[in-house]
Structure 1
């Protein structure tokens, strides 16, 4: 992106609405409640012919540095320092407030270009607030309506005027032509059944961090990044939006999503918390690997197990992280207990990788990343049809399919139809009669014999087509 723009202003003036308008998606949570946004959220914006990076920030309220509002203020100041231009959003309908004047003074001291954006200018009686904005001394305000998309052309012209043509429209870089294979993965797998594609070590990896409130999700990501990128603190439920951050681990690109804490459904009553949980669910569906954070001091709460089950039902690769390990005293005894409970309480994810960590001290983070990579490797694995059919034959020899209504089931053919997660199809007689116990037997056999621990495995049964069925009906 050519330049970076930060959206700043006091709470509830429409910053997140403007952010969503510029990125063209409803990425940021929007609600009438002041102070919805807490972390700074980056995005790729497009405004007519301008393309730039944009940062949504928390509403600025002066408070003590150690308070939640004070930490939010610090996050916004970092966004202003990082940006090349600030969009100072005011509420034209409500008019200027002392907080607006304080923010204007802070932006003026920064010495960077600022555009005053008079939002909600479509409302009746907004003219007074618009003309009051001239008194801020930051130049002519730009009237817009972020909700209805009015004034976007004027905002585009103001950005170009503030930065200059050369900065707003940098020269295009020459891109060398390369031969790229755009065929979908597995397009040629039918040509050679024995070919099992190698795992791509260079592919960017999307990871979501989920768990109960106050389990240490944001602290863990900050430790990975080596900076206070996300808002943290002793208060439960600080994170509301699902914030993505990008970094490299041993040369591999990682895109990690911090999500809001997920409480039991019966306890989620407020609209804002429902929106936060829905945003976390979207992050799970978008991610490839999901790390479920457990509080090692109170692990395996009912909600923890429900979150793991949710991740597996969505088909994501799952890794358990027992956080706050620095607070555990008898490591050996606690670790043995956690291993026993993992095997007993999560039978649907037999062999799932579990790593003790401490987001506060950084203990175990390399082992956690290694577990994420190994789990993603299994999640992407493909097995040749020839190996699967040899395996299916041996499984039936060891444990033949049961007889249902006096007729024994016959499993004829097996192939892998998809990866991410691994999915298999078995051609058999009477697929609807295959008992669930035999399906579990096959899934556990796949895990053991092909080294596929901890990832969800799907097996679908179907009957083979009978080419003589139509002729038999005619004879009747």
Structure 2
């Protein structure tokens, strides 16, 4: 087994004295492993951080493979080498190209062919033309063209990169992205006040709703549309009846958003722009509907704007105390939302009344749950287990007979959750397959109605000419 690491792991395997430790030292850039002409100097596995032209990976030096009794010291060293392959992403099988293949090299090759780990054949000590005969002979092992190098002189490292990159490039770039993520403390994020913005068309009852929550006439209300002009933030504590705890909320009231063609007054334009900025600062946004008017096209425009900004969205139908045909109205709005917000199905929907207080505790409890999903980070191992299952259940297509290879996925950020998929020929991947991945992330990994971003990326080979 190899230590826990998000970087890909590469194992160096070979018989004694072929230059494994010299190659290890070359790749880590330090003299960490003892090197001597005497075979068998390395007895235990040695781990190091290797880099070739920006390709970072974990390298493991192993004891020389010897054909000895399992209970002897060389036999136990060989067992260590066999165990080291478990969990590795690739194996570099090193042989001495000046000497050529030996029976022990062929025995190692037979064993490696039975393993599931990709093998890179490395012809060491190939400086000049001294190793040409051994290189040609090595094609008989069935691992393809070897990487011809001189670990001692540093020759052929670019050739080694070209062999490694197709196998571990995607995972290496994913690990680099993970390392760049600002490691925000998820518990601290969720412990802070919930930033909750209330948006909607004019006169949907936003200010009345906030006054009801606060238990006081804090905001000016009335039958005239557009009374609220500035986005107003109010710090408040909500008593959660489920847990009995007081939870901090920053309530943000916003100006009503009318259709752009109807926004003529300069002051109203500034108010709508201010409401958009309030959405940017919010964590969860409640789109308030008027039960007496139902769902209108402007509501869907506002909802799409919130989702495009990456905020967590929920819908509250206000004035439920005067709604007619309540059950049919609720179901009709639910169906219309599923159709009009196809990119995020199942947005939380609540029936509330700012006048009576109906449904407000349920709405606020749902807002905290939605923030938690919006802030969730999936462990890389669990994420890739889901990814492998998704690819097996529905493999990517092969347009014009060209296979699209999806290699690896990582979560690059939270709030909103953003995922990066690495592979080849990604420009040919149909949008329908991207939607399949997004829906799978949402359904299987607990993101529900949260806006999810998926980015496709092909690792860049620095040695490849444009």
Scaled to the shorter chain, the TM-score interval is 0.5 to 0.7
Deviation at 1:299, TM superposition (A): 1.9
Cα deviation, 1:161-210, whole Å, max 9, x if unaligned, reads xxxxxxxxxxxxxxxxxxxxxxxxx999759xxx9955754211111110
Cα deviation, 1:282-302, whole Å, max 9, x if unaligned, reads 101111111100112222201
* Counterpart pick for 2:427 among 418, 429, 432: 432
Cα deviation, 1:406-426, whole Å, max 9, x if unaligned, reads 212111010000000000001
Indicate if the aligned counterparts of 2:178 and 2:412 stay in contact, CA closer than 8 A: no
Is the alpha carbon distance of 1:405 and 1:340 closer, same or farther for their aligned partners in structure 2, counting shifts above 3 Å?
Answer: same
Question: What are structure 2's unaligned runs of at least 5 residues?
Answer: 1-174, 240-245
Distance in 2 (CA, whole Å) between partners of 1:401 and 1:196 is 35
Is the alpha carbon distance of 1:187 and 1:287 closer, same or farther for their aligned partners in structure 2, counting shifts above 3 Å?
Answer: farther
Deviation at 1:452, TM superposition (A): 1.0
Cα deviation, 1:211-246, whole Å, max 9, x if unaligned, reads 000000000000010000000011111111111111
1:261 equivalenced with 2:256 (yes/no): yes
Cα deviation, 1:124-173, whole Å, max 9, x if unaligned, reads xxxxxxxxxxxxxxxxxxxxxxxxxxxxxxxxxxxxxxxxxxxxxxxxxx
1:338 equivalenced with 2:333 (yes/no): yes
* Corresponding position of 1:248: 237
* Counterpart pick for 2:437 among 437, 442, 445: 442
* Corresponding position of 2:11: none
* Corresponding position of 2:308: 313
What SS class does the counterpart of residue 408 from structure 1 fall into? coil
* Corresponding position of 2:200: 211
Map 1:393-472; keep pairs closer than 5 Å: 393-466=388-461, 469=464
* Corresponding position of 1:281: 276
Distance in 2 (CA, whole Å) between partners of 1:187 and 1:249 is 41
Distance in 1 (CA, whole Å) between partners of 2:375 and 2:309 is 15
Distance in 1 (CA, whole Å) between partners of 2:397 and 2:176 is 36
* Corresponding position of 1:141: none
Answer with 304-313 or 266-275: which moved more: 266-275
* Corresponding position of 1:152: none
* Counterpart pick for 1:375 among 367, 370, 373: 370
Distance in 2 (CA, whole Å) between partners of 1:281 and 1:302 is 18
Map 1:60-139; keep pairs closer than 5 Å: none
* Corresponding position of 1:164: none
Indicate if the aligned counterparts of 1:203 and 1:252 stay in contact, CA closer than 8 A: no
* Corresponding position of 1:293: 288
* Counterpart pick for 2:383 among 388, 412, 427: 388
Indicate if the aligned counterparts of 1:199 and 1:377 stay in contact, CA closer than 8 A: no
Indicate if the aligned counterparts of 2:347 and 2:449 stay in contact, CA closer than 8 A: yes
Distance in 2 (CA, whole Å) between partners of 1:196 and 1:387 is 20
Cα deviation, 1:253-307, whole Å, max 9, x if unaligned, reads 1111111100001111111111110110110111111110011222220100000
Structure with greater Cα Rg: 2
TM-score for the superposition, normalised by structure 1: 0.57
* Corresponding position of 1:239: 228
TM-score for the superposition, normalised by structure 2: 0.58
Is the alpha carbon distance of 1:212 and 1:408 closer, same or farther for their aligned partners in structure 2, counting shifts above 3 Å?
Answer: same
Indicate if the aligned counterparts of 2:197 and 2:285 stay in contact, CA closer than 8 A: yes
Deviation at 1:397, TM superposition (A): 1.0
Indicate if the aligned counterparts of 2:178 and 2:410 stay in contact, CA closer than 8 A: no
Cα deviation, 1:8-62, whole Å, max 9, x if unaligned, reads xxxxxxxxxxxxxxxxxxxxxxxxxxxxxxxxxxxxxxxxxxxxxxxxxxxxxxx
Distance in 2 (CA, whole Å) between partners of 1:199 and 1:414 is 26
What SS class does the counterpart of residue 257 from structure 1 fall into? strand
Deviation at 1:454, TM superposition (A): 1.4
Is the alpha carbon distance of 1:416 and 1:209 closer, same or farther for their aligned partners in structure 2, counting shifts above 3 Å?
Answer: same
Distance in 1 (CA, whole Å) between partners of 2:424 and 2:443 is 26
What SS class does the counterpart of residue 226 from structure 2 fall into? coil
* Corresponding position of 1:323: 318
Indicate if the aligned counterparts of 1:201 and 1:252 stay in contact, CA closer than 8 A: no
1:354 equivalenced with 2:343 (yes/no): no
Is the alpha carbon distance of 1:197 and 1:384 closer, same or farther for their aligned partners in structure 2, counting shifts above 3 Å?
Answer: farther
What SS class does the counterpart of residue 327 from structure 2 fall into? helix
Distance in 2 (CA, whole Å) between partners of 1:304 and 1:233 is 21
Aligned residues: 284
Deviation at 1:402, TM superposition (A): 1.5
Indicate if the aligned counterparts of 2:236 and 2:250 stay in contact, CA closer than 8 A: yes
Distance in 2 (CA, whole Å) between partners of 1:465 and 1:245 is 48
Indicate if the aligned counterparts of 1:204 and 1:252 stay in contact, CA closer than 8 A: yes
Indicate if the aligned counterparts of 1:321 and 1:356 stay in contact, CA closer than 8 A: yes
